[in-house]
Amino acid sequence: MSTPTLRQLQGPAHTRIYAYGAARGENAVPNEDLVGPIDSSDEWIRQRTGIVTRVRADKTTDAIDLAAAAAQEAVEKSGVAPSDIDAVIVATISNPKQTPSASAIVADRIGANPAAAYDVNAACAGFAYGVAQADALVRGGLAKHVVVVGAEKLSDIVDPTDRSISFLLGDGAGAVVVGPSDTPGIGPTVWGSDGSKADAVGMNHTLTDFRDGSAPWPTLRQEGPTVFRWAVWEMVKVARQALDAAGVEASDLAAFVPHQANMRIIDEFAKQLGLPESVVIGRDIETTGNTSAASIPLATHRLLAEHPELSGGLALQIGFGAGLVFGAQVVVLP
Amino acid sequence: MAFTNDEVLAGLAELITDETGISADEVALEKSFTDDLDIDSISMMTIVVNAEEKFGVTIPDDEVKNLKTVGDAVTYISSNQS
């Protein structure tokens, strides 16, 4: 008996982002509300981070609520029926339940049940990782339409007395729908990791240490200067690789949307990248704070609302964070 | 070609002025980066990266923490030039 030849899937040649959706924490939290426990001032925070206020969610709102709201908006704007969504990817580091995944619940809430669903843990690079996956899933024929969400409720994992990162962090979710396209809409992803710097940013304790009473509730910490050097001078190389891989120049960009880690990083990054003044830069951090996996789609959503002329233009997006991990790609804005 | 201590100090002062706007005249060996010059950790790292390029040295993150004064930086750069 001869072994039959297997059929393998092949999808369309090109993909693009159809639409963005966003959900932000309900409460604006100005610097003044946070300066007491860190013995600081509004000026100190503004000067070091560029943040004036950040958004944080109500106690009863969780990362899944934010994710579902952002995904719903993206799906509605995309014109794709929820039942035609084949996969839902949620990038998050702040879903307080390890299992079930946020993505399965989000898929159900937006009417995409029984879409494939899984979470991605790639911190502030999570959205770029998700877009890379969605692009590959569609072009590989495994899915036709994919929802990618970056969603965080970081206010659950901050320490009010921490001067390294807590005061930067906010809550929110941003989402996109990725699907087939007649023309190239998502450039090759340049991604990677450097686990030798795992201690540079991340949680300071484990949940088991907390359970055993040997450590307080785990919260985020970072080695600011180390992260800053890596986030600018190493990530600029990755950004250039993403431009090269896509076959475009910095001067071809309409927008640059780096992870909203810190305004000082964004400014220095743009300077090192040598962006022409015509390129609009995402600076959502000023009023949203650093929302990890959600920051890129939130910043892009805002750019598209404030600069509708960017539609159809190219945006370079790059995420980088705890792992360390990074991911970058050039996309056509919907 | 190796830089003299005076050249390193002058070059460092230039980098500090570029990053912070502090007058080069204020940059002296005994000055503390944080207490006297009020340079924050992010500006410090920018100066370090620019100094690496300018003087052809490598200044690891762990070493940056030990550079308390301008003199510490001049000494480190001078003694680590290739």
Answer whether residue A8 is part of any domain. Answer: no
Q: Are residues A240 and A311 in the same domain?
A: yes
Catalytic residue among A124, A145, A262, A301: A124
- ipTM comes to 0.88
Q: Are residues A328 and A207 in the same domain?
A: yes
- Are residues A172 and A23 part of one domain? yes
One domain for residues A225 and A313 = yes
Contact call for residues A34 and A81 (beta carbons, < 8 A): no
Question: In this structure, is residue A4 part of a structural domain?
Answer: no
Mutation to test the B interface, candidates A229, A264, A272, most B Cβ within 10 Å: A229
- Which stretches of chain A score pLDDT less than 50? none
Residues of B in contact with A228 (CB under 8 A): 41-42, 45
> Do residue A312 and residue A252 come from a single domain?
yes
pTM of the model: 0.94
Q: Which of A31, A95, A262, A290 is catalytic?
A: A290
Nearest residue in chain A measured CA to CA from B19: A268
A226–chain B Cβ distance below 8 A for any pair: yes
In terms of domains, do A97 and A169 share one? Answer: yes
Residue A206 lies in a domain: yes
- Residue A60 in tokens: 């009863």
> A257, A278, A267: which is closest to A320 by C-alpha?
A257
User: pLDDT tens digit string along A118-129?
Assistant: 999 999 999 999
Contact at CB, A262 and B48, closer than 8 angstroms: no
What confidence tens digit (pLDDT) does each residue in A168-189 have?
A: 999 999 999 999 999 999 999 9
Structural domain boundaries enclosing A37: 14-181
Active site residue A301: no
Q: CA-CA distance, A48 to A31, in Å (whole number)?
A: 12
Strands A325-332 and A280-281: unpaired
Q: Are residues A124 and A216 in the same domain?
A: no
Q: Is B41 on the interface with A (CB under 8 A)?
A: yes
**Would residue A95 show up in a list of annotated catalytic residues for this protein?**
no
CA angle A324, A328, A329 (to 5 degrees): 165
Q: A290 catalytic, yes or no?
A: yes
Q: What are the residue ranges spanned by the domains of chain B?
A: 5-79
Are A205 and A304 part of one and the same domain?
yes
Query: Over its length of 82 residues, how does chain B's per-residue pLDDT go in tens digits?
Result: 688 999 999 999 999 999 999 999 999 999 999 999 999 989 999 999 999 999 999 999 999 999 999 999 999 999 998 7
Whether residues A149 and A216 share a domain: the answer is no
A42 and A151 assigned to the same domain: yes
* Domain co-membership, A156 together with A251: no
> Does residue A3 fall inside a structural domain?
no
Whether residue B50 lies within 8 A of chain A, CB to CB, comes out as no
Name the domain count of chain A.
2
CATH number for the domain that contains residue A254: 3.40.47.10
From the options 3.30.1280.10, 1.10.1200.10, 3.30.70.360, 3.40.50.720, give the CATH code of B5-79: 1.10.1200.10
